[in-house]
Every structure is written in C-alpha cells, then in structure tokens.
Amino acid sequence: MNKTILFAFIFIQTFIAAQSSEKNLSSENWQFRNSKDQHWLPAKVPGTVHLDLMNNKAIPDPFKDENEKKVQWIENEDWDYQTHFSISQKELENQHANLVFNGLDTFSEIYLNGKLLKKTDNMFRKWEIPVKNLLRKGDNELKITFRSAVEEGKKRAKQVPFTMPESPRSFVRKAQYQFGWDWGPRLVTAGIWKDVKIEFWNTARIETIKVEQKKLSGKSADLYIHTSILAEKEGKYTFRINDKANTVQLKKGNNRLAIPFTIRNPKLWQPNGWGEAFLYDMKFSLQNASEILSAQTLKLGLRTIELVQEKDAGGKSFYFKVNGNPVYIKGTNWIPADSFSPRITKGKYQKLIRDAKEANMNMIRIWGGGIYEDDEFYKACDENGILVWQDFMFAGSFYPGDETFLANVKEEVKDQVSRLQNHPSIALWCGNNEIDEAIVNWGYQKQFKYSKSDSLQVWKDYKKLFHEVIPRTLKENLTADKNIYWPSSPSIGWGHKESLTEGDSHYWGVWWGEQPFEIYNEKVGRFMSEYGFQGMPTLATTKTMFSGVPDLSLQNATVKAHEKHARGWEIINEYMKRDYNVPADFMKYNYVSQLLQARGMQIAIEAHRRAKPYNMGTLYWQLNDCWPVVSWSSIDYLGNWKAFHYQAKRSFEPLLISVAETEKAYDIYFINDLMNAVSATSGAELLDFDGNFLWGIDAADMIKANSSEKHFEISKTELAKFDLSKAVLKMYVKNGSLHQEKLFFFKKPKDLKLTKPDITIKKISPTEIEVSADVFAKDVYLIGDTHFSDNFFDLLPKTSKRITLSKSLENIEVMSLWDTGN
C-alpha cells in the first residue's frame, strides 16, 4: 500500500469509527442454565442449547447411537442465557446505541441490566432495540430467557377450535425440520442462534440499500439505488456510490431516496454453464462535511430474470429466461446442512455450493422446512452462478391465519427480504413447500374430522397468508425487477394430471408411490422441482453413527435409527430386488443402495432433459443432509459424494447423450444446453463385455443450440442377433476438443452377464491414478479416505481413466458390481 492510500484508509476508518461502530457481544463470555437450576455453565454464541449441553458433557451426541431418544426432554424445558460486558465512557457518548439480535430461537425475553426490553416469538426475525439510556459505564448484564417452544406451540394450538396437523410445530415461527422429518431427527432446540452486537451511531445512518435495475442493455445498466437513511439533523449530506458523490437533502427522521446510477458497458452475471458470474463491488457511504457517518458495501450482479408462463399446446409453460435467453434449470433441493445450524461453517457452505457447481448445476431450491440461509450460502451462490429458488419457511402442514400470526410473518418477510434481496442469485420467492398440496390431497380434514366451516377456514387462512400477506409484503419491499413470486411448490399435487402440464411439479410416484423407476419416462412435467430416491450415506459417514466400534449390520438398532422414513428400508429393499441381486454383506449393500439411487435418478433426470423445451427444469430431492442418515441426498452429512452425486454430474453435462427405449427401437437424443450449435460426428458401437466390436453406425450431426432432439434410432430387430445381456452400446459425439461418450445397457444390472474384471490402479503421481480393466467393469468403486474426481463409473476394456485425488493415499481398494453377486 503506498503512503497516500494508507493515509486515506486510516482517515476513513477513523471517521467511521468515530461516527458509527459496532461492539460484538457474541464473543463475550456467555453462560446458560436450565431455568430450574441455580448453576450456570459456559455457553457459546451463536449456538443452541443442545450444542452447549454437549460441550458441557451434560448430554451425549444425539447424532450417535440411538441418543436422539435420550435428549427429547430438552424441548420441554426453559433455558436462560447471560453475559456481562463492559461499556466505556467513549461508547456511552454515542448519540445512539442499538442492541441487535440477528436471530433468537424462539420464545425469549431480553433483559438488559435487569430491565425487560422485549419478548420475541420468531426465530426468523431480526431484533433491534435502542438501549442508549439503559447502558451504563463499566459492567452491564444481558440476559435472555427462552421458554419451551413446544409448550408455547401447544398453548397456541388450543386457541384454534379444530385440530391442526403437525401441531405444535406449525404454530411456532421456528425451523420446522427441528421437529423431525423423514430425513432428520427431532431436536427442537433453543438459543441465540445468530450474532449479537451493539451498533453505535451518530448524526445519521444508512439503514437499507436496495439496488433496482431499471434497464440493462449492452451499453449500460441503468440502476436506482434506493436507500433509507435515518438522520438526527436536517441538512445537506453527501451520499457516495463508489466514486460518485451525490448531494442529498435530508430531513430529521427517516428519509427514503432513489438515486440513479449508471454502469457503462456492463458485464453480465451469468448462471453456471453460460459464462462468468461477474460481480461488481459497490460501496455506499453517507458523509456530512468531511466525516463519513455510515457506510455499506455489496456485490452486485447484473442480470435479467423472468419466469415465463404462457399457454401452449401442452398446457402452460414454466421456464426462466436469464439475460433474455431461456435457461434449462438443472439442480437440486437444499435442506439445512446441520440439525444445529449455527455450527455450519463458511467452509461447509462454500464446499456444498462448489459441489453443486461442479456437478453442472445452475439452481438450488431452499426448501421451506428449514431456515432462510446464512449470508455465506447466498454469497457462494452469487459467486458460483447458482440461481436460488427461495421458499418462505412453511412446509407440509396447515398454518394459522390469525392477525397476530400474520403480523409476525409480515415482519419476518420484511427482515428476510431486506437482508437477501440484493443477491443476484435469487431467482424466485416461493410461498411454501407442499401446503396447497397438503390441503387439497393429504386428507387431514377427514383424519381430524373437520366440519365444513373448519375446512373453509383452513383454505381462507391459506389464501390470506400465501396469496395476500406474503405477496403484498414482497411488493412493498422488493423492487419490481426482483419480484417473482410463486405461492406454493408444487402448484398442483402429483395425483392430478395438470401437475404435468403446468406449474412446477413434485413427482413422488417413485418412492412414495413405489412405482418403477421407468415411470419417470412418462411423468414429465413442465418444471420438476422435487423427485427423489434414497441411498445410504458413504461407509465413512455410516461409521460415524456409532460412538464406539461400529457394528455394521442392517439389523443393528443404530443403523436402523438413522433411517427416518417409516418404510424406508422396505422401499429400498423392494426397489433393489427389482434391479439388483440384493447382497447380504453390509458394505456391499451400502454400495448397491447407492448405485440404485443413482440409477433411479439418472432415469429421471434424462427423461426430464430429453423433454426440453416442454420441460425446462429438474431439481432433484435433495442435495445434502443435516446428520448422518439414509436419505435422498447426493452428498452425505460429512460432505462425501454418494454414487448419485457423481451420476448427477454426468447427467447434468451441458451436452448429454440419452437413450429412450420404445417398443421397436432405441431413440438416441442429443441434449445441448449450450448457447451455441455444435457440428459434430456422432455414432454408436455395440461392444461385448470383452471389448469386441459387434455392430456400429456413424453420422455427421448438427446439434442445435439450447435444444433436445432425437438424432437417430436403432431398431431392435437390428440388434436381435446379439446377446444383449453381454453387450453395451457406446455412443459418442465428437468435434475437435469436444468428446462426449455415453454407455447404455439393454438389461437391468441383475440381468447383465458380467465376468470378473481384473482392475488395475496405476499411480501417476501422489494425487493422480489411472484405472483400467481387462474386461468390462461395471460401477467401479474406489475406496479410500480421499475425494476421487470420479467414482462409481463404468470402465470398458482397452480404455483407461485418469482420476485425481484430493489427497494422496497409500492404499486404494477397489470393487465393482461383479463383486456383489450381480
């Protein structure tokens, strides 16, 4: 740094420090106790009561063994937290001091120096309390008491004249998955789950910044910077946007300004697969005379986004246009990455989003039973070109519609929108997960013997919340360019045929309906926002279910307890029998269960992509886990890729070759998500499992930009003379540097006549290997404590595959499907 810059830097810092500053209270010494107890124990903020109890060895780790059961009592207790902090004379001299809680889970009372400041009742809100007159020089005491959310919920449920499903969870504005889900333990926690601080300020301060993109063209981005500024004194101030100074006249109190700002020759933010997710650094400051009073920064991405729903021959379209072009959406659903979300590190967020990017995804849906995610999540999505479908936090139940509840939600929406709206990654705001569906299709009204008027009330409450309060609040708080609202995902339940002709669709005929995977070829909607199949977590993660020496067996109670779907094991077994010989050995079962999941999902994803542009999006259920569990995830709790994540990466390649089997032929499709056409040579070869050529065709092809087309077909009679249980169809597309290959099998895995492969692993360098086999090896599984760049892949004889390792390994074990008796 040269001297002048250094000087200017110190100068600015000093003035900001003088005019506005922050005191972090999270890092103070915190203590907690059960409200019934006298004795305080050390606590961590941000955190949760379960984590604090664990750190103090007062409870066992609920993720291990069958411990979840042992910690259920915690949800019925009340908990106290407290800290002491010191305030200096200088800090006291500030004109304003606000105590800020970014998140309190959930029913709390906040006391400062013995005085009750506020009662809170919503985990998703930010609480900001002026405390200038309550702070004292020297020692101050901050105490927060939490009442049991379960008890509170029960009280509220009593006020409704009929039984609500999922009571008491739907009465409390708290992460719903804490109450247990079909992939998650019940761990209803409490605590100070986000940062606590005191903000000091003087004279004036910037409260919010909203960037509105009025017009975006190749030449310029015409923006409005909407800001709300609180001023103590009326007068002339300077509002600076990067280097541009704007003189503004402020009145005492709250001021709302809209200041035009232009960026010439703008560089666009592109979703993953289309180029760089370019971000501009934006700096905003408020100055009076020469003092900087308040400052904020943000990363700006310039892109346009539209949700196009137009009547067409098939029903009604449902697709996104980004920067003017229709984008085929490839991605997944996100659940909270831990049952105790405060312990999710920035690194974990970054890694999971990078894993999504690496698997060629361009969208993640944040599912409504979790949390509005941490800033780091959105930052990672902005940087990696991952669009976000943002649910509001309501899932799979009925919700109350009384005035207090609605007013509470309104504030929640305001807080979250104000925190999140400037992220270029956010594509759509969705009211809820599966509530329209729950009301229409899940039969709760019958189960709980509702009267006609009870049923009507539920529908009225639903309409009020998701068709009035939330969209109205969005309209009031979002700039027009960011306001895409969709009331419920899915819009129509999977039992209705319209779910495949309009809106977004959750298809659960596979898994819940136990239909065969092949049904995915028929049940293709306009935008598939959920569908999935379970697989076991990797062996490494499975072992962490145990506190002691793992007893790896399907009969083991711990293993059983780490499957939360009532019929999970049965369903996996049933599907496995259909397609594989079911291995008795645990490790082999674990491996085949992952292959099974990957196989089902490959069928689904490819069917969706072949149907482009009728179908314009596919988001599988689900990317990640919140604990070590058998689930629909493609990445397990420890961050290890299951076989499915490797498959997702292949199935989401920008240029995909895919086969659709008809009665008489195999139709070969090329799906191109790139914005340019590709001229290529292509073809197919039938090979036996020893690698011998049996039959082939080749062609010259023009693959249109952003398209899915059948390019050729192979009639079944043509292949009739071959034993297809011993053969594989290798298809390819080539042009210069581009070389896509795809293998297709004519039979289910259990009906393939595999022979024992001899698989060779050659070390190229400490972190690179080359894998080859003498005969065809199906689903080659490399085993070791490292991340392999590819795994669970098919390997033809006379070929080899280079794999990189995230860290070097002495011994790499290997197996393939042949080893499982298939």
Q: Which residues would be at the binding site for ligand BMA (CB under 6 A)?
A: 181-183, 367, 396, 433-434, 506, 530, 621, 632
| Closer Cβ to ligand BMA, 46 or 431, answer by number | 431
The C-alpha atoms of residue 287 and residue 429 are separated, in whole angstroms, by 35
The 10 Å CB-count burial string (b at 16+, else e) for 536-567 is bbbbebbebbbeeebebeeeeebbebbbbbee
The SS3 of residue 443 is coil
Structure tokens at 47: 């955190």
Rounded least distance, CB 678 to ligand BMA, Å: 36
The C-alpha atoms of residue 64 and residue 547 are separated, in whole angstroms, by 6
Rounded least distance, CB 768 to ligand BMA, Å: 38
State yes or no: is 653 an active-site residue.
no
| Closer Cβ to ligand BMA, 377 or 394, answer by number | 394
Rounded least distance, CB 501 to ligand BMA, Å: 20
Q: Which of 75, 530, 563, 606 is catalytic?
A: 530
Rounded least distance, CB 393 to ligand BMA, Å: 13
Nearest CA-CA partner of 357 in 432, 296, 277, 241: 277
- In angstroms and rounded to an integer, the radius of gyration of the C-alpha atoms of the chain is 29
> Are 408 and 400 spatial neighbours (Cβ–Cβ below 8 Å)?
no
| Closer Cβ to ligand BMA, 33 or 567, answer by number | 567
Rounded least distance, CB 621 to ligand BMA, Å: 5
Beta strands in 755-820 (DSSP E): 759-765, 768-773, 777-783, 793-795, 800-804, 813-815
> Are 815 and 761 spatial neighbours (Cβ–Cβ below 8 Å)?
no
| Closer Cβ to ligand BMA, 52 or 437, answer by number | 437
| Closer Cβ to ligand BMA, 286 or 629, answer by number | 629
Phi and psi dihedrals of 531, rounded to 5? Answer: -175, 150
Give residue 229's identity as a one-letter amino acid code.
I
> Are 465 and 409 spatial neighbours (Cβ–Cβ below 8 Å)?
yes
Question: For 53, which DSSP code?
Answer: H
| Closer Cβ to ligand BMA, 148 or 529, answer by number | 529
264 vs 220, 226, 261, 267, 549, CA distance in Å?
Answer: 4, 20, 10, 9, 63
The C-alpha atoms of residue 428 and residue 236 are separated, in whole angstroms, by 38
Q: Which of 434, 437, 502, 606 is catalytic?
A: 434
Rounded least distance, CB 74 to ligand BMA, Å: 23
Rounded least distance, CB 563 to ligand BMA, Å: 12
Rounded least distance, CB 367 to ligand BMA, Å: 6
| Closer Cβ to ligand BMA, 135 or 164, answer by number | 164
The C-alpha atoms of residue 790 and residue 813 are separated, in whole angstroms, by 15
Nearest CA-CA partner of 274 in 194, 384, 388: 384
The C-alpha atoms of residue 739 and residue 607 are separated, in whole angstroms, by 22
> Are 712 and 668 spatial neighbours (Cβ–Cβ below 8 Å)?
yes
Q: Which helix (H) or strand (E) holds 342?
A: none
Rounded least distance, CB 496 to ligand BMA, Å: 15
Structure tokens at 712: 């050729």
Own/partner contacts of 438-446, CB < 8 Å, gap of 24 or more, are 438/165, 438/396, 438/397, 438/398, 439/398, 440/493, 441/493, 441/495, 442/165, 444/165, 444/398
Calculate the CA 792 to chain-centre distance. 24
State yes or no: is 434 an active-site residue.
yes
DSSP state letters, 59-106: S--TTSTTHHHHTGGGGGS-EEEEEEEEE-HHHHTSSEEEEEES--BS
Q: Which residues contact 801 (CB under 8 A, 6 or more apart)?
A: 770, 771, 772, 790, 793, 795
| Closer Cβ to ligand BMA, 182 or 653, answer by number | 182
Rounded least distance, CB 88 to ligand BMA, Å: 50
Rounded least distance, CB 534 to ligand BMA, Å: 9
| Closer Cβ to ligand BMA, 355 or 391, answer by number | 391
| Closer Cβ to ligand BMA, 567 or 734, answer by number | 567
Cβ-based burial of 67 (10 A; exposed 0-12, middle 13-18, buried ≥19) = middle
Residue count of the chain: 822
| Closer Cβ to ligand BMA, 517 or 614, answer by number | 517
| Closer Cβ to ligand BMA, 173 or 506, answer by number | 506
Structure tokens at 13: 């810092």
Q: Which helix (H) or strand (E) holds 293?
A: strand 291-300
The C-alpha atoms of residue 546 and residue 607 are separated, in whole angstroms, by 39
Rounded least distance, CB 442 to ligand BMA, Å: 11
> Are 616 and 328 spatial neighbours (Cβ–Cβ below 8 Å)?
yes
DSSP state letters, 467-517: IIIHHHHHHHHS-GGG--EEEEESSS-TTSGGGGTSS-EE--TTTTS---G
Rounded least distance, CB 434 to ligand BMA, Å: 5
Q: Which residues contact 789 (CB under 8 A, 6 or more apart)?
A: 803, 804, 805
| Closer Cβ to ligand BMA, 370 or 400, answer by number | 370
**Annotated active-site positions, please?**
434, 530
